[in-house]
């Protein structure tokens, strides 16, 4: 069976048929296609901050992109250009922390990388052009910026990306402090491009958008880690059942 990969969703007004501007839980299909193409079974997760019990039925998690995180999450006041989605923030911080605690394989994309950093005790730059002095990471509406990343030798992301260091990004916020995570990728201007947790089975955040190009290196690594977890859980369940005398396992 394919590993079940949860993908967090946006909540945005959407229009289809005769219905206009309905609040809708949605996600760009690129994420689903990237998970499916890498051998996973994509399941969409709408915001739900009642609990993080869904972690128990997932084999892996994609924290998707989207709007800015609420600066209150890292003890700051909102800047004039910060645009948040509180319903996502409360649900996804809960989910991310539960996933880290359970050592669930996680891939964070753009906002998802920033969420991982904040969930791990870090903080963000609310508007990178104020820090970097240029708009290169989001050059124009709906136009991806191209950055050449520098990856830490020996890191997971360096092994996955190899010599391919040009990435497509679209963001105006960035990681200022990665908390307990390790920064393993930087743009040439110093902006954080990748974070990971070497102590866990698979926790990787990237500031760019690998789903757009269906990058099987990153999504394949996630599904491989999720498949390994699924196999381990199945073996443990069978051993527990046999110990309890259940002939059906």
- State yes or no: is 211 an active-site residue: yes
Using an 8 Å Cβ cutoff, are 9 and 190 in contact?
no
The 8 Å CB, 24+ separation contacts for 223-227 are 223/2, 223/3, 223/5, 223/35, 223/38, 223/39, 223/40, 223/60, 225/60, 225/105, 225/201, 226/3, 226/4, 226/5, 226/40, 226/59, 226/60, 226/105, 226/202, 227/3, 227/39, 227/59
Which of these is catalytic: 125, 137, 171, 209? 209
Which of these is catalytic: 72, 135, 211, 237? 211
80 vs 75, 77, 84, 127, CA distance in Å?
A: 16, 10, 11, 9
Nearest CA among 130, 141, 143, 128 for reference residue 186: 128
- State yes or no: is 29 an active-site residue: no
From CA 87, how far away is CA 243, in angstroms rounded?
A: 43
- State yes or no: is 169 an active-site residue: no
Which of these is catalytic: 110, 137, 169, 196? 110
| Active site positions, annotated | 110, 209, 211
């Amino acid at each position: 069976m394919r590993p079940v990969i949860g993908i967090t969703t946006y909540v945005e007004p959407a229009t289809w048929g005769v219905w206009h501007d309905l609040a809708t839980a949605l996600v760009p299909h690129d994420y689903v296609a990237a998970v499916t193409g890498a051998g996973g079974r994509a399941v969409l997760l709408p915001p739900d901050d009642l609990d993080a019990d869904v972690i128990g039925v997932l084999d892996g998690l994609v924290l998707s992109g989207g709007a800015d995180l609420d600066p209150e999450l890292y003890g700051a006041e909102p800047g004039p250009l910060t645009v948040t989605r509180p319903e996502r923030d409360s649900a996804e911080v809960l989910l991310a922390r539960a996933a880290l605690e359970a050592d669930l394989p996680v891939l964070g994309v753009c906002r998802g990388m920033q969420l991982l950093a904040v969930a791990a005790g870090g903080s963000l730059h609310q508007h990178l052009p104020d820090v970097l002095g240029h708009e290169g990471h989001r050059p124009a509406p709906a136009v991806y910026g191209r950055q050449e990343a520098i990856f830490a030798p020996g890191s997971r992301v360096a092994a996955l990306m190899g010599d391919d260091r040009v990435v497509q990004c679209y963001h105006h916020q960035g990681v200022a402090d990665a908390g307990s995570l390790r920064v393993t990728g930087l743009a040439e201007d110093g902006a954080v491009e990748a974070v990971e947790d070497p102590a866990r089975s698979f926790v990787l955040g990237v500031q760019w958008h690998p789903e757009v190009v269906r990058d099987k290196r990153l999504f394949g690594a996630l599904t491989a880690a999720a498949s390994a977890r699924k196999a381990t859980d199945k073996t443990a369940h069978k051993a527990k059942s046999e110990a309890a005398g259940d002939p059906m396992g």
